[in-house]
A = this chain, B = another copy of it.
Amino acid sequence: MAADEHPLVLTPLPGEADLGLVDALAQLSFAVQGALGRIATEQGLSIVQTRLLGILRDRRPTIKELAGFLGLDKSSVTGLVDRAETRGLVTRMASPRDGRSVQVAITPAGQDLAERATTSFMAEIGDLVADLSPTQQKRLFGLASIVVAADARRRGINLFDTTASTRP
């Protein structure tokens, strides 16, 4: 798609960023979310449930921390964890440090499901970027990484600092 062709989602207007970039990114995000949704459905999960399991892979966050990771209200996370717990995918544990808090941990069943989802998702994304050369794929990865890291930093969510969470 050339930069001056019309977009599916939005329309050409002047603005801070180039619309072509904006629209391409929006559409790319829909394509990726579509892939995520397909593999989630395949495993009987939703995108958010899949994301929850992925986060819990190497963390035991509180409800509040999960809300920060997911960008949701704490009450939404309560329901999310409720449904996952009912299905035996996660468990709540009392926090040893704060009587008000709970820590959410993934179960072996949840781990299995998360791993199957990961495998399927990699295959889907492999298909999605199949038209890019290996060099282009690396380039896309690098650019996406820069954007994601900068965004996380701006939002004050350090994806790699786990001092706030107890590691299993």
Are B17 and A28 interface neighbours, CB within 8 A?
Answer: no
In the complex, chain B residues whose CB is within 8 Å of the CB of A69:
8
How many copies of this protein are present in the complex? 2
Complexed CA–CA distance, A69 and B30 (Å): 11
Task: Please tell me which one of the listed residues B15, B57, B58, B150 contacts residue A131 in the complex, with CB atoms under 8 A apart.
Answer: B150
Most buried by B among A55, A119, A126, A143: A143
- Is residue A13 contacting chain B, with contact meaning CB distance below 8 A? yes
Minimal Cβ-Cβ distance residue in B for A146: B131
Minimal Cβ-Cβ distance residue in B for A27: B148
In the complex, chain B residues whose CB is within 8 Å of the CB of A115:
11, 13
Are B16 and A148 interface neighbours, CB within 8 A?
Answer: no
Name the interface size band of chain A.
35 or more
Minimal Cβ-Cβ distance residue in B for A33: B29
- Is residue A164 contacting chain B, with contact meaning CB distance below 8 A? no
A147 vs chain B, min Cβ distance (A): 6
- Is residue A87 contacting chain B, with contact meaning CB distance below 8 A? no
Are B8 and A141 interface neighbours, CB within 8 A?
Answer: no
Complexed CA–CA distance, A25 and B30 (Å): 11
Minimal Cβ-Cβ distance residue in B for A11: B57
Are B148 and A24 interface neighbours, CB within 8 A?
Answer: yes
Minimal Cβ-Cβ distance residue in B for A6: B58
A141 vs chain B, min Cβ distance (A): 4
Interchain Cβ contacts under 8 Å between A and B, 16 examples = A8-B69, A11-B54, A11-B58, A11-B118, A13-B115, A13-B122, A15-B118, A21-B129, A21-B138, A21-B140, A21-B141, A21-B144, A27-B148, A28-B144, A30-B51, A33-B33
Q: 11 other contacts beyond A1-B148, A6-B58, A13-B119, with CB at 8 A cut-off?
A: A8-B159, A9-B54, A10-B54, A11-B114, A15-B122, A17-B123, A18-B141, A25-B28, A26-B121, A29-B32, A31-B151
